[in-house]
Chains A and B, each alone.
Chain A
Amino acid sequence: MRFNLEGLTVYFPYEYIYPEQYRYMLELKRALDARGHCLLEMPTGTGKTITLLSLITSYQLAHKEVGKLIYCTRTVPEMEKVLAELAELIEYRAKYLGRGPGSNEILALGLSSRKNLCIHPRVAEEGSRESVDAGCRRLTASWVRERAAERVSRGTTEGGEEGGSSGGAVGEIELCDYFEGHERAGVEALLPPGVYTLSDLRDFGRKHGWCPYFLARHMMAFANVVVYNYQYMIDPKVSQMVSRELEKECVVVFDEAHNIDNVCIEALSVNLRKQTLEAAGRNLGKLSNSIRRAREADAARLQAEYNRLVAGLIAQGALRGGEDWLANPALPADVVQETVPGNIRRAEHFMGFLHRFLAFLRDKMASPVVTSQSPQVFLHELQERVQVDAKTLKFCYDRLSSLLKTLEITNTDEFTPIQLVADFATLVGTYAKGFAIIMEPYDERLPQVPDPVLQLSCLDASLAMKPVFSKFQSVVITSGTLSPIDLYPRILNFNPVAIQSFQMTLTRDCLCPVVVTRGADQMPMSTKFEMRGDPGVMRNYGRLLVDLSAVVPDGIVAFFVSYRYMDQIIAKWHDMGILQEIMQHKLIFIETQDVVETTLALDNFRRACDSGRGAVFLSVARGKVAEGIDFDRHYGRAVVMFGVPYQYTLSRILRARLEYLRETFQIKEADYLAFDAVRQAAQCVGRVIRSKADYGMMIFADKRYQRHDKRDKLPQWITRHLKEAHMNLSTDMMVHVAREFLRAMAQPYDRGAVGKSLLSEAALAALDAAGGLDGAGAAGA
């Protein structure tokens, strides 16, 4: 339908709209009008994506000055889903706006790494992302192409054989046909308007003989909608290459952003293991060799690099080759625009410098005790021990990238370890605040196995978000679970113009959250540290699952607080015979840390649910399953959260972060921990409801959920359905509640409750005339 929203014509591809979608659009539009950032929570299953796309594309249409829509997703499947919905929307819009040139057609495309886009027959076969990247560079780096071109020209002047520019291989120098095709087409290589998913891009590339990756990168400048991964926006290494050209007027959307702070932190953190350092040492050896060889063969090249560095050209991007590779890991604003210091200008000197730094790191890692330092202390120590100063450190990454390019190295994946070390060096040198350097000689869970890790951990999520907020006019952060919503502006340190949490209008009570505090024997249950090992608690948890599997049909999902606890409790359940009892009712599948195994388990879980056998999936909060897999419809009729999924509180990184949050943002440790635990729990239980026609039990099995500090942090759309009668149940009471709920939900229900939970075009027109949703509460009736 097409309707008027405070003066903006909105194209929405469905006949009816939910009231919360309407409110969401209203809030979003006001934020866009105000040119500010906003934070919006709306439950899953209410069509958040289409609402966002619909409003923003309509807004673009009406306000030409608004730039692109940059839609950030977490995974490739999500990206495909967004593009599919967008395609539907555009198809619908074409009915009103017509097709062909001049009819405001839009170009939308998904952008992903080479691994997902490459169509070169050999390179695309490579396993990891790094190896595909390296394989691509081997064929497309500027010096490789120049050399090939030289050979061709030499070949033709000699009147020799036909140049192999079309064959891809010139002499023994191999090039990529698709890249060459794209290069030849130059600025002419354009995508016609439309919506392109990754596979569409690959198909298009194959058809025209153009490289889809470079085509997509090139077309970003012309696209109206770009869908890509969070990393492309947040990680400075990537975003400088990809997102630098974007204009200020863009609208940036982060979908499913409840974990955005963790993404930000990861983008600026570096972990170094013993193996990394060893490999980095080998890299240095290789580099020294190449330098020596280069010096013998072509001393002028190294001299030219030196001269460039003296002139300070590095920052101006005057360096040829490897255009999109090795961007600085620090944030754009913090990258120093100065010349590289003299002591590392010469390649040999730089090698020496890296050797010294590496030795220092190795020495640090040999320490048998856990240490935690601030960057200043670390730098001071570095200065004292090996005479390396912070300023030089800062340039480490740029200097390395310059060197690698000068040496014309293409197998970049081999040099990842030394890049990591340089990454570490640059970040330490650049940031004095908001970071911690933590050395752990062994994994705390396995103290007998030495496994030293040196971590440079970012503590401040707002660091990585700051450039995004300052660069773009409107940033929209949205998810199904952003509660408590006022905490996000604090940890991300920004001022939203709109903060709103929307509720789901339902025609029936299809959510049934309950808090189970004790077993049938009235003993409290909890995964509190003092209680979790208690056999009584484990048995009660087991009984809960047994009883539940007897009354809930089809699929049940159970989440535990950690892999370790899950292993422990499953072993205990096996001894107690609880697993066998569950098996009488349902099959059991378990998530493991192995992705392939888990995928297989999930697949069989679904089959068991489809064929009526019924199954239980045992999973872990914060795991892959909890974050990305939906258990909608009969795949999840009940979800159990065993315990409160706190982070591992003994982790040094977490400790450092908590301290930082307290000092910088005045957020209490316990508050943050509870917030983080409850959002994970909400994320887990939210897996079962994926649409309004769906229904499911949500069982919080821990007595601590009874407390206000936990309960109040749950999203409103859950707490609204948490009835007083369901806040303090024992297992047998819960079984009773479940029976009643499932019976009631099994009754046929009337989908066509138009008016209460659906608004038609006419109802919206009336609403608009009456002056908004609040002014006419009963407008839908």
Chain B
Amino acid sequence: MSAVDRADDLELDGDDDDIDEHELRRQEEAYQRQYENEQTWDQLQEDEFGNLFVDKTAEQRARRKRLLSAAQSARIRKGMIRYLLLVVDMSRAASAQDLRPNRLACILGLCRSFIREFFDQNPLSQLGIAIMRNGLVEKLTDLSGSPEAQVAKLDAGKLGSPAGDASLQNALDLSVSLLRSLPPYGHRELLVVFSALATCDPGNVLDSAKACKANNIRVSVVGVAAEVYVCRRITEETGGTYGVALNETHLEQLLLAHSSPPPATSAQAKAELVRMGFPQRSTEEASSAVFVGLEARLLSGNYTCPRCKARVPELPCECHICGLTLISSPHLARSYHHLFPVPPYHEDSKERAEEAAGVLIRQPAMRDEVPTSTGSYCFGCLREVSQPGAAGQLHLTLRCGRCKQVFCFECDAYVHEQLHNCPGCEFGGT
């Protein structure tokens, strides 16, 4: 019984060459069309004057959808004071190059902008950073309120190269030990940026997940490769979110989504008074330099804690002597907008434009000063916006439901993401 015998009468597979050349080529092309074509020039379009432009309405619409959903959740009570531990995966998987230039560089860059955005939106909150590497978790920074010190730590050069396995359990345990002792009015959160597809743990990761839940820690994961069951399960158990990024932009969206405060859980929803201090800033003159803070650095500009008179270098922070939360009033004011967000603008349509024209005409004072009635200029930047439904519409045209003013897409984003006040409403006093 050998190959000779086998070859005799049972010719199983016939000739291999009967596959059509043409078919092969078609298959090859189909593959290339689907996976290898990144011809960015395909997105270019040409208008009637021969000008080239990129149609971004679809992308903008998608972004607005997210804004809308964020605005809808505005009525939900939110955690204003957050304690967030950011864990960056630096296991072997982070060196993969499916994100450019590689996963780690991309993630670190986005984490830096996330941290800035986080403190911008939550000035009362604190954040700490840790990395997962070689099956361990290393703490990079303690929880603190200053963005720049944190951002400086997230430098690819200083961190070294990714290696070994990731351990989710160690990250969870670290978060428990760091966040457990924090005051109950604060929201405890763990955010893991997870490149790996497996977690290599010393014990059962689900036990640690239970500990997180017991300590009211909300675990969220942002994955970059694929859905991992255990992440899904832990985030569901602790009330967090789990997203998997499709590409760099999507990853950015997923990360930045965590910068706005999450809805408060019922356990934390009870009202509580928090003692805070509003320290004064000392003069900036070089002659007035004193030793400041825990590290006793010689600094000229500093703040003095109103309770214990200790000096701290920056706000917001916790006094290193008496533990009082020190902030300035603008910080408090900036957190305020989460409670009273600007109502979302609606995409403009013919009917809306007509209805708005009627309202606006009845406000003669307005008509003289700003070109509104035609609806063709943005109320924010005074640049021309296209008519709704016009051919070659470059951008979305939006209208505030309250003051009926028209805005371009950029102004809409600026108003809702940064300004938190509608200029039309403020101006008209309505």
Contact = CB atoms under 8 A, between A and B. Distances in A.
Interface of A: 444, 528-530, 550-554, 584-586, 609-614, 633-634, 637, 646, 649-650, 658, 669-670, 673-674, 703-704, 706-707, 709, 723-729, 733, 736-737, 739-740, 742-748
Interface in B146-190: 168
A737 B230 contact: no
Q: 3 closest pairs, A vs B, by CB?
A: A612-B230, A634-B229, A746-B244
Q: Kindly name the residue among B12, B28, B245 whose own CB sees the greatest number of chain A CB atoms within 10 A.
A: B12
A650 B1 CA distance: 8
Interface string B185-223: 000000000000111110011100000000000000001
Contacts of B14: 670, 709
Contacts of B11: 670
A736 B197 CA distance: 16
Interface string B1-38: 10101100111111010110000101110110111000
A646 B10 CA distance: 12
A609 B228 CA distance: 9
Nearest to A673: B12
Contacts of B168: 612
Contacts of A554: 197, 228-229
A236 to B, nearest CB: 32
A611 B27 contact: no
Contacts of A528: 13
Q: Kindly name the residue among A585, A637, A709, A743 whose own CB sees the greatest number of chain B CB atoms within 10 A.
A: A743
Given A649-B10, A726-B31, A747-B246, A613 B199 contact: yes
Nearest to A677: B12
B98 interface: yes
B246 A743 contact: yes
B197 A745 contact: no
Given A553-B228, A704-B13, A745-B226, 13 more contacts: A553-B229, A585-B197, A610-B229, A612-B201, A613-B201, A637-B226, A669-B10, A674-B12, A724-B27, A727-B27, A733-B31, A742-B226, A743-B245
A742 B230 contact: no
Nearest to B223: A746
A611 B6 contact: no
A743 B198 contact: no
Given A553-B197, A612-B228, A728-B28, A444 B1 contact: yes
Given A552-B197, A725-B27, A610 B230 contact: yes
A646 B12 contact: yes
B198 A585 contact: yes
30 contacts: A529-B3, A550-B93, A552-B197, A554-B229, A610-B230, A611-B204, A611-B205, A611-B206, A611-B230, A612-B198, A612-B201, A613-B201, A633-B229, A650-B5, A669-B9, A669-B10, A673-B10, A673-B12, A706-B19, A723-B30, A723-B34, A724-B30, A725-B31, A725-B33, A728-B27, A733-B31, A742-B225, A742-B226, A743-B246, A746-B244
B139 interface: no
B198 A613 contact: yes
Q: Kindly name the residue among B35, B93, B231, B243 whose own CB sees the greatest number of chain A CB atoms within 10 A.
A: B35
B225 A613 contact: no
B227 interface: yes
A670 B9 CA distance: 10
B96 to A, nearest CB: 8
Nearest to B15: A707
Contacts of A744: 246
A196 B205 CA distance: 40
B263 to A, nearest CB: 17
B245 A612 contact: no
Nearest to A445: B1
A355 B230 CA distance: 66
A725 B30 contact: yes
Contacts of B93: 550
A175 B205 CA distance: 55
A553 B198 contact: yes
Interface of B: 1, 3, 5-6, 9-14, 16, 18-19, 24, 26-28, 30-31, 33-35, 92-93, 98, 168, 197-201, 204-206, 223, 225-231, 243-246
A530 B237 CA distance: 53
**Secondary structure class of chain A's binding surface, majority of residues:** helix
Contacts of A633: 229
A673 B227 CA distance: 38
Nearest to A515: B27
A707 B229 contact: no
Nearest to A524: B16
A205 to B, nearest CB: 40
A553 B225 contact: yes
Given A551-B197, A612-B199, A728-B28, A746 B227 contact: yes
Contacts of A707: 13, 18-19
A739 B229 contact: no
A614 B197 contact: yes
Contacts of B12: 646, 649, 670, 673-674
A611 B201 contact: yes
A646 B18 CA distance: 20
Given A707-B19, A737-B35, A743 B226 contact: yes
A740 B10 contact: no
A729 B226 contact: no
Contacts of B198: 553, 585-586, 612-614
A673 B18 CA distance: 19
B28 A650 contact: no
B216 to A, nearest CB: 23
Contacts of B225: 551, 553, 739, 742-743
A746 B92 CA distance: 21
Contacts of B98: 739
A63 B344 CA distance: 60
A676 B143 CA distance: 63
Nearest to A649: B10
A571 to B, nearest CB: 21
Given A649-B10, A669-B10, A728-B27, A553 B200 contact: no
Contacts of B205: 611-612
Contacts of B230: 610-612
A53 to B, nearest CB: 31
Nearest to B28: A728
Contacts of B227: 553, 742, 745-746
A585 B197 CA distance: 8
Contacts of B30: 723-725
Contacts of B3: 529-530
B137 to A, nearest CB: 15
A686 to B, nearest CB: 21
A353 B144 CA distance: 97
B388 to A, nearest CB: 28
A745 B16 CA distance: 35
A286 B242 CA distance: 72
Nearest to B14: A670
B178 to A, nearest CB: 22
Contacts of A673: 10, 12
Contacts of B18: 707
A727 B20 CA distance: 13
B35 A733 contact: yes
A610 B209 CA distance: 13
Contacts of A552: 197, 226
Contacts of B24: 728
Contacts of A529: 3, 6
A650 B6 contact: yes
A554 B204 CA distance: 16
B249 to A, nearest CB: 13
A584 B1 CA distance: 40
B229 A747 contact: no
B125 to A, nearest CB: 27
Contacts of A703: 16
B6 A746 contact: no
A584 B33 CA distance: 34
Contacts of A634: 228-229
A21 to B, nearest CB: 28
